[in-house]
Amino acid sequence: MAPGREAAASGRHTGGVSASSAAVSVPLPGSAAGEQPVLRDFSGGAFGIYVHVPFCATRCGYCDFNTYTAGELGTSASPQSWLEALRGELAAAADRFAGLGSAVPPVSTVFVGGGTPSLLGGDGLADVLDAVRANFTLTGDAEVTTESNPESTSPEFFARLRAAGYTRVSLGMQSAARHVLKILDRTHTPGRAVAAAREARAAGFDHVNLDLIYGTPGENDADLDASLDAVLAAGVDHVSAYSLIVEDGTALARKVRRGELPAPDDDVLAARYERIDRRLAEAGLSWYEVSNWAAGDTARCRHNLGYWDGGDWLGAGPGAHSHVGGVRWWNVKHPARYADAVARGGLPAAGWEALTDEERYTERVMLTLRLRSGLRRADLAPDARPAAARAIADGLLVPAGDRLILTDRGRLLADGVVRDLLVP
């Protein structure tokens, strides 16, 4: 089976894994009556901030993210009310973190995702970054990323982002084939993503990512090759490629269930993944995570590496997830209810959990094994070592010093390798 799209901090990410530390009781809304979760100190690793923008012009048929069109929201919420609530949440979080036993670390990465952050425009995204800076200290070399849809960008948009302090742009290209974009309900024209990437580079962005989705019904090898040709012609230094996943509750899932579209074929997905990996490697982009390729270490997405390496992060915005020192919480989803929760004071959490040692171990194996740097042997439980030995014998893992790394074939079967290691 080809690797699927990893979870995102807007609610699909499983959370980080971090070392235990002294615990300090900090109030967090969303717990049972009279109960307060214990928020541990920062783990000492990377600290990032994810901001979730819940607005989209249209809803893509494959998407199950926490997003809303203007028609779905009506008058209950707007970008203006969202921004005001975001400012309140960031201030509340900074206040809560100040009560921990250690100083709040400087923010090394900021990632504005969604949704469609570019709908806010350059000025709106500048306001978002200003809100982060008003409450947290950024490192001098902080990576600041925003996702953008190609159709809602322009040379002026990218110039405004650079002036505001953004350092990285991630563009949703998905495909260069018009009929594939139509099936995915994407509204940009096939050439717009490449043009947007070039505009971003002309505005001074050294780090530009293009997202691809492969395995869409109706896509053939020639369509994928055309998409890869376009990506490489754009001159970007980072590519993310995700196999199409038919998520329950989406318009795509309903079409597949009714027989209007075929479900993605696992063998086709695997062949497409190998094709992508080969083409990108030939062009000088190396995989550093199962679904991500970069032209060197500096081109890697440091924010996402923070998730995979078990760092701490604050997720701000409707439905966003946070993780600090082994405690995870998630915000209420609807923008109007999110704003109401912020207005009542405190963090707009819908719930929380303190990860057990077993859960943190599970997440360490699941996340770090996806990385090219691999899983440290010392992090593997003794009863999982026979399963690791079998995976090595089967050509799925390769030992490299004190680490275990997925082979090319192992990447195709990564979920199975993880499952075997966790249930030896």
Mean pLDDT over all residues of the chain?
88
- Comparing 154-158, 248-252, 337-341, the range with the smallest average pLDDT is 248-252
Radius of gyration for the chain, computed over Cα atoms and rounded to the nearest angstrom:
21
In whole angstroms, what separates CA 307 from the centre of its chain? Answer: 8
CA distance 397 to 213: 26
Residue 35 vs residues 26, 30, 93, 127, 354: alpha-carbon distances, Å: 11, 9, 19, 35, 13
- Confirm if 175 and 188 have CB atoms less than 8 A apart: no
- Entry pTM: 0.90
Burial class (CB in 10 A: 0-12, 13-18, 19+), 247: middle
The 10s digit of each residue's pLDDT in 146-198 is 999 999 999 999 999 999 999 999 999 999 999 999 988 887 788 999 999 99
Burial class (CB in 10 A: 0-12, 13-18, 19+), 202: exposed
Residue 288 has pLDDT above 50, yes or no: yes
Residue 11 has pLDDT above 50, yes or no: no
Q: Summarize the chain as % helix, strand, coil (round to 5).
A: 40, 20, 40
Amino acid letter at 133?
Answer: R
Residue 213 has pLDDT above 60, yes or no: yes
CA distance 275 to 261: 23
